[in-house]
Structure 1
Amino acid sequence: MHDEGSVLQVIVVFLLAAVLVVPLAKRLQLGAVLGYLTAGVLIGPSMTGLIANPESVSHISELGVVLLLFIIGLELSPRRLWVMRKAVFGAGMAQVVLTGVIIGAVAWQVFAQPLKTSVVLGLGLALSSTAFGLQLLAERKELTSPHGRLAFAILLFQDIAAIPLIAMIPLLSGANAGSGIDTMQLLKVVGSIGLVIVGGRYLLRPIFRIVAKTGLQEVSTATALLVVIGTAWLMELAGISMALGAFLAGLLLADSEYRHELESQIQPFKGLLLGLFFISVGMSADISLLITQPLTVMGLTLILILLKMPVLLMVGKFIGGLNKQSPLRLAIVLAAGGEFAFVVFKMARQQGLFEPALYDLLILTITLSMALTPLMILLAVRMFREKPTEKEVPDEYKNMAIDIDSPRVVIAGVGRMGQIVARILRAQNIPFIALDTAVETIELSRSLGGQMPIFYGDPLRPEILRAAQTEHAEYFIAAMDDPDTNFRAVELVHRLYPKVKVIARARSRSHVYRLIDAGAKPVRETFYSSLEMSRLTLLGLGIEEELANRLIRRFQEHDEQVLEAQHRVHGNSEAVIQTAREARAELQTLFQADSDDAKTNS
């Protein structure tokens, strides 16, 4: 009973630490990985001592790495790699090799580390955190930016490079150096890999097909875990890394029709167990080094960042083709150490390549480098904000002359809504001028619609509005994507040309109120499409077409009346809430009356 209580106590401590610390770290924009590491530090022997022996959970926590590598293998389909081959194997390989050589050389020559230790140290620190980097980019909505796409490609190659590095550590340790070639061991390795390949090709798909037919979610989950853990166990029996076996299993199933099902089943376990791994790493971190050797720890952290950043800057600029601030943004996101360094260095310590003191310093260095990354990003954002740069626009668009005589309509923004307005006006031979600041949008609209009167120009500039002859127009259509830009354009047009009628695209009810106050007629961008979706849903549920149409019209009229009433009190939040409550009750009454009338008439 005592042992069971101890196990339960450990589980409770782990879960409590994760639940309390990780959301706080995410709220502070420090990332989940750093949150798990901090939780481990807090409950580890160097702080509170709630968990006195970090090694007691190491075997379970390593399953998180196994599942992570299986997911990475699943995502590395040959087709995807081929599409991204230049960025992945060009920029990615250059970054890992150059950074590994530089850091390894510094460790060997400056810090007098053994050559084998320097090789592992250089390549391990060359890797960045996939989870941390992608999360930071996603939080800042930069995944689709040029530096975001290149960062993804480099991280993808780093994930691939981690596999041979993990497999290389036992060879570098020289554990079997004096025993010569073990033929039986070699046959065991080749046979295990062959068994995984044959099983992955010919056995797994029929098995998944049978399991899928049962319709039992728990059996599907058990099968997915069996594939991953079973393959890892088989590879461990053959003397190969469990992680390498899991990666191989994922790679074989990358093109399987069950790939997404497998990923969805494994993902929750991977996240939890990988979090457990990071907590165990944090538990093993010796925080006392910050007190006893603060200059050494901080110095190593700065050296790591200062060695990686120039390489990333050069790779981003000369191989990735980034310009302006993008290489620096890339360098800041990827300058810290990564989660695979924890895995690699832990194995290196177990194999005798790292001294315990060196391992403790490196773990603390990587953790601090990750903690500094969000601060560097905030600093860089502030620097970039002080020096705003104009968009690069080809000369042909800068010098584009607006040569339409007396347009009746001026459209600002040729996106999802503006282009439809433009096509309808053109079909009716109504003269108009359309303005946009996105060169790609202008080129696409012209290619689809022939010589459309669409010109490059910022509608927030009075001289552009004058060149577009807005003063002679009857209507100004503000159809830009950004609500604030739309509002500012409406204000400017209303101030310069008060006689021009303005129709503006509105994103939300609060945006509607602002546009009405600015003198525009707002059109909610999703309102009418939502009404049509609702009408089709009612028809599909068996409601007669006449009644469905009447209900939709009733809702539209009622909502427009409520919107008008709320606009009168929109400065008073309590009055708006009260209006919404009364409107909800009134709408139910109206709908019930329409339904009763329909039943009576039928």
Structure 2
Amino acid sequence: MDVILAVVCLGILTVALLFLGRRFKIPSIVCFLVIGMLAGPYALSIVSDQSTIETIGEIGVILLLFTIGLEFSFERLLKAWRVVVIGGAFQVCTTIVVAALILHMINGVMFTEAIFFGFLVSLSSTAIVMKILQDRGEVETVPGRTLLGILIFQDLAVIPMLLLTPVLMGSSISTASLPFEIIKVIAILAILIVSAHWVVPWVMYRVARQKNRELFVFTIAGICFAVAWLTNAAGLSYSLGAFMAGLIIGESEFSIDAVSNIIPFRDVFAAIFFISIGMLLDTSVILSQLSIVITLLAIILVAKVLTGSVASAILGMPTRVSIFVGLALAQIGEFSFVLAKNGVDSNLMGPGPYQFFLAAAIITMALTPFTMNMAFPVTNLLYRLFPDRIKRPDPRKDASGPAPEELSGHIVIVGYGMTGKSVARAAEILGIPYNAIDMDPDVVARERAADTHHEIIFGDATHREILEYAGIERARALVVVISEQNVVPGIIHLAREMAPSIYIVVRTRHVNDVRQLLDLGADEVIPEEFETSVRIFSRVLAKYTLPESDIDTLTKVVRGNGYRMFSRAHDPLPSGNQDPERAFGDLHIHTLEVGAGAPSVGKTLRQLDPWNTRGVGILAIRRGAASVTSPHPDLIVLPGDVLILYGSETNISRFRPLVAGPAKTA
């Protein structure tokens, strides 16, 4: 097929399937894999040249892992050393052993081939997991940070795996040449470290001084492919070199500009990679050898879920986090395809097993969004089936000090991040007792060491025992400020069941989540979207030269009116037919000048009654150099007054004739 025609067909197929995927809520990663299967040589043959497919895939994974490397940092790696070293090492090593033993015992595969299969299974997809976490807004949550640490170790573990693969073949590398290979890798790493500290910053500085965006972008791309070629020359993979190149540029002072130029192409790189992976799969293999594919799929899922969950549990994570980590890692990674290709080239893996592995691997990738969504219901199911064997975290055993006092009328704070700490500090200033709950063991240990006067409870607030220990039945208020939005409804429901009279305040990201949380029992919901709009509103008012005190007053008016929609006590949506996002999203700020001879001139605001008659609120009135905020209802409207209003476009249009002067005639 003509190249241009192939590109057009591939584009049409991509747009169509992405549209259908969006319509039926199918993750984009699954759509890209299906697109690759349909467009590849085993289906529609839009792209049939195997070498072209491999080249596209190689370029795609190079660029994709380069962007991932840009967002990593050595500083983050050092801070997460416990998760990286302990959790990552345990997960990788146990997965290799478990997968190899299962394959060896069930299918009688040679031990060296089983170990190589363990290498392939032990690695997970950094691109898939991080993309899903970014879409869910959970990168900075406890499960997100745990996954990131383990994935970092997996990426680094590729180096010894690539070195050991020839050893498994038996004759490629002798014992005498092994030290030379290790020295070569160390030398390459030394060159990369020197480049990261001196060469790259010097080059980037000279390029940045030219103030030419095209030169800057191509320099970044050149560094990416140069480092990828250098690592490949050392016997490692192009993709690992691209990841290292991203780390090098990410450590320079030009990293933010580099990210801003490269990140817009990240989704394109991801699409190219996943489409190319889909093209490699011979779909007839799944149908003709279904039993073998299912067996491999079962081995992969069992081994990875089990070892990932146990690795997280060893780090001290609650059961829910451990299960989520295991399910999130239950797919084959990008580097596994690189290792598998090396295995095929070296006859360690035959073409048939390679296709079986590809089929099982691509299925695990496609299942990842769904397995990650299963974590919460799976955890609840396990607790119901095995209430005694799978015990929830006991805060009494974990506490480093004595149990907290029997507090009464206190605040229970779920989530001890920035917002949770702010609530706690405010409570301290006002002399209000509180108990805080967090499930990050590092945060709990750090806060306990720094603060001996208040109890920081380690545990998962979705568990009844944790809320009981925090004294939820005796508390006056519950504040839920955690980043994992999918578990917030469960916390609200459980808290309302345990303490029917408690006042529940919840933070959420989106306004359209308000209705669900109010229906579940929250008394007040704070949407971050709304708070952001209020902050922007205050900044805009500053440009109208209003005094700061007036801006504060107006902000309070807008915030007060808005939160009536987000509180059960003043719920204007009893029927549930009106969406809070739509209802409040239609309101805008307007300014109208009162014209001479307008119908409103000489009337009081009470007489006009704009809110009840037109659905328009008057926030302030500018009269000459003075500003009147929260004007009194008996204030008389004068010609030349500038009214600062809020309301929908329709209502403002209905109100405008009252303040507009008579039309001028020619």
Alignment partner of 1:367 is 2:362:
yes
Shift of 1:349: 2.2
> Do the aligned residues in 1 keep the contact of 2:166 with 2:173 (CA within 8 Å)?
no
TM-score, scaled to structure 2: 0.65
1:199–1:278 Cα change, 3 Å: same
Alignment partner of 1:49 is 2:69:
no
1:112–1:192 Cα change, 3 Å: same
Shift of 1:464: 6.9
Tell me which moved more, 329-338 or 476-485. Answer: 476-485
Alignment partner of 1:228 is 2:255:
no
1:577–1:596 Cα change, 3 Å: farther
Alignment partner of 1:298 is 2:303:
no
Match of 2:8 in 1: 12
> Do the aligned residues in 2 keep the contact of 1:102 with 1:307 (CA within 8 Å)?
yes
Match of 1:356 in 2: 351
Structure 1 counterpart of 2:358, which letter? I
Shift of 1:341: 1.6
Q: What aligned pairs does 1:498-509 form with structure 2 within 5 A after superposition? A: none
The structure 1 residue matched to 2:396, chosen from 394, 397, 400, is 394
Q: In structure 2, how many angstroms separate the alpha carbons of the residues matched to 1:96 and 1:450?
A: 38
Provide the secondary structure at the position in 2 that maps to 1:51.
coil
Q: In structure 1, how many angstroms separate the alpha carbons of the residues matched to 2:591 and 2:422?
A: 30
Alignment partner of 1:98 is 2:125:
no
Q: In structure 2, how many angstroms separate the alpha carbons of the residues matched to 1:243 and 1:519?
A: 48
> Do the aligned residues in 2 keep the contact of 1:304 with 1:336 (CA within 8 Å)?
yes
Q: In structure 1, how many angstroms separate the alpha carbons of the residues matched to 2:437 and 2:134?
A: 25
Structure 2 counterpart of 1:598, which letter? A
Structure 2 counterpart of 1:329, which letter? F
Deviation digits for residues 22-45 of structure 1, max 9, x if unmatched?
Answer: 575578776544332221112223
> Do the aligned residues in 2 keep the contact of 1:224 with 1:262 (CA within 8 Å)?
yes
Q: In structure 2, how many angstroms separate the alpha carbons of the residues matched to 1:186 and 1:477?
A: 60
Match of 1:594 in 2: 621
> Do the aligned residues in 2 keep the contact of 1:513 with 1:567 (CA within 8 Å)?
no
Provide the secondary structure at the position in 2 that maps to 1:594.
strand
Q: What aligned pairs does 1:177-326 form with structure 2 within 5 A after superposition? A: 199-234=195-230, 241-253=237-249, 255-317=251-313, 319-322=314-317, 324-326=319-321
Shift of 1:282: 1.3
The structure 1 residue matched to 2:154, chosen from 144, 153, 158, is 158
Deviation digits for residues 234-287 of structure 1, max 9, x if unmatched?
Answer: 555677643354345445445322334334434444542343232222112111
1:382–1:262 Cα change, 3 Å: same
Aligned length: 566
Shift of 1:331: 2.7
Q: In structure 2, how many angstroms separate the alpha carbons of the residues matched to 1:380 and 1:575?
A: 29
Provide the secondary structure at the position in 2 that maps to 1:288.
helix
Q: In structure 2, how many angstroms separate the alpha carbons of the residues matched to 1:204 and 1:398?
A: 54
Deviation digits for residues 368-424 of structure 1, max 9, x if unmatched?
Answer: 2334455555555334334377663338899755588xxxx8766595675466455
Alignment partner of 1:343 is 2:343:
no
1:506–1:324 Cα change, 3 Å: closer
Provide the secondary structure at the position in 1 that maps to 2:349.
coil
The structure 1 residue matched to 2:327, chosen from 327, 332, 357, is 332
Provide the secondary structure at the position in 2 that maps to 1:365.
helix
Q: In structure 2, how many angstroms separate the alpha carbons of the residues matched to 1:442 and 1:186?
A: 41
1:22–1:94 Cα change, 3 Å: farther
For structure 2, which runs of at least 5 residues remain unmatched after alignment? 385-390, 415-419, 459-463, 482-487, 594-616, 627-639, 642-666
Q: In structure 2, how many angstroms separate the alpha carbons of the residues matched to 1:109 and 1:465?
A: 51
> Do the aligned residues in 2 keep the contact of 1:333 with 1:373 (CA within 8 Å)?
yes
Provide the secondary structure at the position in 2 that maps to 1:52.
coil
Structure 2 counterpart of 1:46, which letter? Y
Q: In structure 2, how many angstroms separate the alpha carbons of the residues matched to 1:528 and 1:186?
A: 55
Shift of 1:584: 4.5
Provide the secondary structure at the position in 2 that maps to 1:336.
coil
Q: In structure 1, how many angstroms separate the alpha carbons of the residues matched to 2:581 and 2:137?
A: 32
Q: In structure 2, how many angstroms separate the alpha carbons of the residues matched to 1:28 and 1:48?
A: 23
> Do the aligned residues in 1 keep the contact of 2:207 with 2:215 (CA within 8 Å)?
yes
Q: What aligned pairs does 1:411-490 form with structure 2 within 5 A after superposition? A: 415=420, 419=424, 422-423=427-428, 425-426=430-431, 481=481
1:201–1:442 Cα change, 3 Å: closer
Match of 2:630 in 1: none
Structure 2 counterpart of 1:543, which letter? T
1:480–1:76 Cα change, 3 Å: closer
Deviation digits for residues 83-133 of structure 1, max 9, x if unmatched?
Answer: 333332233223323332443455567646566644433211221222233
> Do the aligned residues in 1 keep the contact of 2:318 with 2:392 (CA within 8 Å)?
no
> Do the aligned residues in 2 keep the contact of 1:108 with 1:115 (CA within 8 Å)?
yes
TM-score, scaled to structure 1: 0.71
Q: Percent identity?
A: 24
Tell me which moved more, 487-496 or 247-256. Answer: 487-496
Tell me which moved more, 84-93 or 555-564. Answer: 555-564
Q: In structure 1, how many angstroms separate the alpha carbons of the residues matched to 2:585 and 2:330?
A: 52
Match of 1:473 in 2: none
Q: In structure 1, how many angstroms separate the alpha carbons of the residues matched to 2:38 and 2:306?
A: 34
Provide the secondary structure at the position in 2 that maps to 1:97.
helix
Shift of 1:208: 0.7
> Do the aligned residues in 2 keep the contact of 1:99 with 1:308 (CA within 8 Å)?
yes
> Do the aligned residues in 1 keep the contact of 2:534 with 2:558 (CA within 8 Å)?
no
> Do the aligned residues in 2 keep the contact of 1:235 with 1:241 (CA within 8 Å)?
yes
Q: What aligned pairs does 1:111-190 form with structure 2 within 5 A after superposition? A: 111=107, 117-136=113-132, 148-166=144-162
Alignment partner of 1:66 is 2:68:
no
